[in-house]
Structure 1
Amino acid sequence: MDSFFLLVPAAILFTALACAIFIWAVKHDQFEDLERQGHNILFDDEEPKQEETDACKSQYRLEPEEKEGK
């Protein structure tokens, strides 16, 4: 019975604290856009494509093969 006098006020205090935190979150628009964060995880931003430089173009250029019959 002694623990009853401790647990009931603790439960009331915990419930009041949880309600206060929830009301604060609603007033500060924490629940306005619930979908955006989920989409940010799933879909990454596209990385900008790198421009080719002259050195890069010449490095992978294949010369046409010469025919033996010429």
Structure 2
Amino acid sequence: MSALYILIPVAVGLVGFAIWVFLWSVNNGQYDDLDSPAHSILFDDEDPQHKAGVAEADDKDEPRG
């Protein structure tokens, strides 16, 4: 029973710390843009316009011959 007097305040303190860390991360913009980092791996670092492959796709649309 005496262990509860220690474990309950420790658990409440851990929950309070977790909530504080979550609110800190939200306020500092950690969750603002979740999609761009996932898509950035698909683009060349050397192509600032991110239009890699556009010329090749345009050439395929034109009839050959």
- The bucket for the TM-score relative to the shorter chain is 0.5 to 0.7
Name stretches of at least 5 consecutive residues in structure 1 with no aligned partner.
49-70
Q: Runs (4+) of structure 1 moved beyond 6 Å?
A: none
TM-score scaled by length of structure 1: 0.56
Name stretches of at least 5 consecutive residues in structure 2 with no aligned partner.
48-65
Aligned residues: 47
**Structure number, greater radius of gyration:** 1
Higher relative contact order (CA 8 A, sep 6+): 2
Work out the percentage of aligned pairs sharing the same amino acid: 32
TM-score scaled by length of structure 2: 0.60
Structure 1 vs Structure 2 CA RMSD: 1.8
SS at match of 1:2: coil
